[in-house]
Structure 1
Amino acid sequence: MADAKTSARKKQRRSVPAGQLHIQATFNNTIVTFTDKKGNVLAAASAGACGFRGSKKGTAYAAQVAAEKAAEAVKSLHGTSTVDVFVKGVGLGRDAAIRAMSNLDIAVDSIKDVTGVPHGGVRPKKARRA
């Protein structure tokens, strides 16, 4: 049990001045995740986790509230001031989550759409027998 002392160390809060903001905006929910430049999660929030239920989770206001909650956490814990934004999905929360960053003095360096696009499609059904 010699290494019990080493595992009891408190995790050090690291300063991350520039990070990434990943927004997944679906019709049913919006998930906002702050990461460092490598992709390690610093803070996350969703419309459902902010208390919205049912069809209200897919609204732009719910996305704004989720973005503000995650941004407050990442600013106070890690001191993040600039982000690169990666938007995925087609929901209403795409623009609202990005606009919420300007209200909290987090500078947006770039915005990139990483929504998946199908190419080739699915295999067609086999021909009907007569």
Structure 2
Amino acid sequence: MKNFKKFGCIYLTSTFNNTISTLTTLKGKTISWLSSGVLGYKGAKKSTSLASQIISEKISKIAIINKIKIVDIYLKGIGFGKEIVLRIINNSGIFIRSITDITPIPHNGCRNKKKRRV
């Protein structure tokens, strides 16, 4: 049971307006979460790569404090911060076991409008 603490998951939601990162256990229990709004950024600065860089540094420090050494990363969204976060987490000494993109993709799109009757 001691080795169970070494594993964790990082969920990264990166949109055009914000970057949100959540550190969880393998079962899904949230350990910590951060967003660029929590760090004090407001407006257009929340979506910058600098904000996502600081988020990834802090979330990796929290993982190291909680003795999490191996991480699965789940990416969601189309924002700027995804690649930077991966690089910084990898450089912090945490081993990345898998990277999964869970961005929702529409299968068939919206339903067409009804044909107009004249």
Question: How many residues of Structure 1 are paired with residues of Structure 2 in the alignment?
Answer: 115
User: In the alignment, which residue of structure 2 is the partner of 1:91?
Assistant: 79
Moved more, 95-104 or 25-34: 95-104
Which letter maps to 2:6?
P
Unaligned runs of 5+ in 2: none
Which letter maps to 2:60?
A
User: In the alignment, which residue of structure 1 is the partner of 2:11?
Assistant: 22
Q: What whole-Å deviation, never above 9, does each CA across 1:12-37 have from its counterpart, x for those lacking one?
A: xxx72111111101010011111111
Mapped to 2, the partners of 1:43 and 1:67 lie a distance apart of 12
Q: Give the 5 Å matches for 1:115-130.
A: 115-130=103-118
User: In the alignment, which residue of structure 1 is the partner of 2:25?
Assistant: 36
Mapped to 2, the partners of 1:50 and 1:39 lie a distance apart of 24
Shift of 1:48: 1.3
Mapped to 2, the partners of 1:75 and 1:29 lie a distance apart of 24
- The alignment-based identity, stated in percent, is 37
RMSD: 1.4
Relative to the length of structure 1, the TM-score reads 0.81
Are 2:57 and 1:103 aligned?
no
Which letter maps to 1:32?
S
Moved over 4 A (4+): none
Unaligned runs of 5+ in 1: 1-14
Which letter maps to 1:70?
I
Contact in 1 for aligned 2:63/2:69 (Cα 8 Å) = no
Are 2:48 and 1:59 aligned?
yes
SS in 2 for 1:64: helix
Could you tell me which of 83, 94, 114 is aligned with 2:102?
114
Relative to the length of structure 2, the TM-score reads 0.89
Structure with greater Cα Rg: 1
Shift of 1:103: 3.1
Mapped to 2, the partners of 1:105 and 1:23 lie a distance apart of 18
Shift of 1:73: 2.1
User: In the alignment, which residue of structure 1 is the partner of 2:34?
Assistant: 45
